[in-house]
């Protein structure tokens, strides 16, 4: 492929991955807080919002279409425009009588558009950058991906909390908030139109075009593919359950075992201190892998992403009055997540190596989404059964398979290391 009007990755990688993550976090995570504020039970929240992962799980089914037809840039710009309309639809229907069913339907449409946006965005990253650039920019990429997530969990939730205090009506507050998200998504779409490079992708002759079957089979015949997929599914087994119940834990009353924080306080904790810790951890993770290779840092990063879950056990046991303890736990968790997630992202890039990188990366991230969806669907039921203290102990125990797979998984130890 060739590139017209070359643009620096320092310019377009941040905007592209900010836009990739923000709709994801609104659909998967912010929806949890919204439904909690609107009176939906933890069991229903865990089940139905985790089921929204499904488009990310099955996106490999249509990923070859993006590999074979059209440019990646046209695909992700179209999906981002659709997402703007989806969030507008959520905002306009939040206050209706059947809001849970209707907004879930909109979130479902948004999930399919967001999953497709991910395929195209990741595809552009893989074909526009050289292998050594991919490893170098993985820290910047994962950092701004997480900045988008914190924008959702932080700033957007703070806005919703402010609106709730102003109007005294959670439904009205979330309606205005989601309309604002639609406007922000539209602005980001315009920014990506201007910022991202124009890549002329080689398609080859009709005889050279691969079939759907070939695209899939070349992925599942990779060396050690079974062990690799087990790693992808289990690396975040604890995190997949924690992420669904962390916000309900902060928001629930102290009588129900929670911390009784306001929506604004939860948004503040994630959107200020959390984002600083995340930025430092994410950038540091990319830098050290680029310097030393994935093999040197896989085990330390597995520890960084999983060990901070112990903090939630301590929070649920002590239920501190001050938010300082909760803020400290979130800061440590976000730093660890930013640092540890870098290893996961570099491994997914390794797994997509070879022909059909876009489709193979989509397959890898589809299994990643499955690893988040299935445990997450049960998280609400587990929390209601065990209570918050027992649930967070279970989350810590669920990190053990992730540690084991980080030790057993096979990959070139020097992968991701910047060439001398």
Please name the residue ranges forming H helices in 129-271.
Answer: 131-136, 138-150, 157-167, 170-195, 212-220, 225-234, 237-251, 263-268
> Is the confidence at residue 260, as pLDDT, over 50?
yes
Residue 319 pLDDT class (50, 70, 90 cuts):
very high
* The pLDDT of residue 303: 94
pLDDT of 202: 58
How confident is the model over 290-314, as a mean pLDDT? 93
**312 versus 201: which is more confidently predicted?**
312
| 12's tokens | 């377009």
Of 54-58, 127-131, 132-136, 311-315, give the range with the top mean pLDDT.
311-315
Superfamily of domain 2-198+211-408: MFS general substrate transporter like domains (1.20.1250.20)
Q: Which residues contact 1 (CB under 8 A, 6 or more apart)?
A: 127, 199, 200, 201, 202
Q: What is the mean predicted confidence (pLDDT) over 113-118?
A: 92
Q: Is the pLDDT of residue 208 over 70?
A: no
Among 371, 88, 416, 419, smallest CA distance to 241 is for: 371
Q: What's the length of the chain?
A: 420
Q: Does residue 184 surpass a pLDDT of 90?
A: yes
Q: Which of 48-52, 225-229, 270-274, 337-341 has the lowest mean pLDDT?
A: 270-274
Q: What is the mean pLDDT of residues 62-91?
A: 87
- 342, 351 contact by CB (below 8 A): no
- Measuring CA to CA, which residue among 334, 221, 343 is closest to residue 279? 334
Tokens standing for residue 206: 């009709």
Q: Given this model, what pLDDT does residue 259 score?
A: 93
**Is the per-residue pLDDT at 130 higher than 60?**
yes
Buried b (16+ CB within 10 A) or exposed e, 116-149: bbbbbbbbbbbebbeeeebbbbbbbbbbbbbbbb
Nearest-CA neighbor of 303 among 337, 280, 327, 270?
A: 337
**Banded pLDDT at 205 (limits 50, 70, 90):** very low
Of 362 and 18, which is predicted with more confidence? 18
Q: Kindly tell me if the per-residue pLDDT of 191 is higher than 80.
A: yes
Confidence of residue 97 (pLDDT cuts 50, 70, 90): confident
Question: What confidence category does residue 327 fall into, taking pLDDT thresholds of 50, 70 and 90?
Answer: very high
Q: Give the whole-number percent of the chain exceeding pLDDT 70.
A: 93
> Where exactly are the structural domains of the chain?
2-198+211-408
Mean pLDDT in the chain?
A: 86
* Range 67-89 average pLDDT: 89
């Amino acid at each position: 492929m060739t590139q017209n009007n070359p643009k620096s990755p320092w310019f377009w990688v941040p905007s592209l991955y900010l836009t990739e993550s923000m709709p994801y976090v609104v659909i998967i995570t912010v929806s949890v807080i919204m439904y909690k504020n609107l009176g939906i039970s933890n069991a229903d929240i865990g089940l139905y919002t985790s089921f929204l992962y499904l488009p990310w799980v099955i996106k490999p089914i249509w990923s070859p279409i993006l590999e074979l037809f059209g440019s990646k840039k046209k695909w992700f710009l179209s999906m981002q425009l659709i997402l703007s309309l989806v969030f507008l639809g959520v905002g306009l229907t939040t206050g209706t009588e059947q809001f849970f069913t209707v907004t879930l339907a909109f979130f479902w449409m948004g999930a399919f558009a967001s999953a497709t946006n991910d395929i195209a965005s990741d595809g552009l990253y893989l074909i526009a950058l050289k292998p050594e650039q991919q490893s170098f920019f993985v820290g910047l990429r994962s950092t701004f991906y997480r900045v988008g997530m914190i924008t959702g969990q932080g700033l957007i939730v703070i806005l919703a909390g402010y609106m709730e205090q102003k109007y005294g009506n959670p439904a009205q507050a979330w309606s205005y908030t989601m309309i604002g998200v639609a406007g922000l998504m539209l602005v980001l779409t315009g920014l990506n139109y201007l910022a991202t490079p124009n890549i002329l992708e080689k398609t080859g002759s009709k005889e050279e075009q691969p079939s759907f079957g070939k695209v899939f089979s070349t992925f599942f015949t990779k060396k050690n593919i079974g062990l690799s997929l087990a790693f992808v599914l289990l690396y975040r087994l604890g995190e997949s359950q924690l992420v669904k119940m962390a916000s309900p834990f902060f928001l629930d009353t102290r009588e129900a075992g929670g911390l009784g924080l306001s929506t604004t306080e939860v948004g503040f904790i994630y959107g200020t201190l959390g984002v600083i810790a995340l930025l430092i951890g994410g950038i540091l993770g990319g830098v050290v892998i680029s310097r030393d290779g994935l093999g040197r840092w896989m085990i330390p990063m597995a520890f960084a992403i999983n060990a901070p879950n112990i903090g939630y056990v301590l929070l649920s046991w002590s239920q501190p009055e001050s938010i300082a303890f909760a803020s400290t736990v979130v800061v440590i968790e976000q730093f660890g997540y930013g640092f540890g997630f870098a290893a996961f992202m570099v491994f997914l890039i390794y797994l997509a190596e070879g022909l059909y990188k876009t489709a193979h990366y989509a397959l890898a991230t589809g299994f990643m989404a499955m690893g988040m969806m299935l445990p997450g669907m049960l998280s609400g039921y587990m929390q209601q059964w065990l209570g918050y203290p027992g649930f967070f102990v279970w989350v810590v125990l669920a990190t053990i398979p992730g540690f084991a797979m980080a030790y057993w998984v096979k990959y070139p130890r020097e992968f991701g290391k910047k060439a001398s």
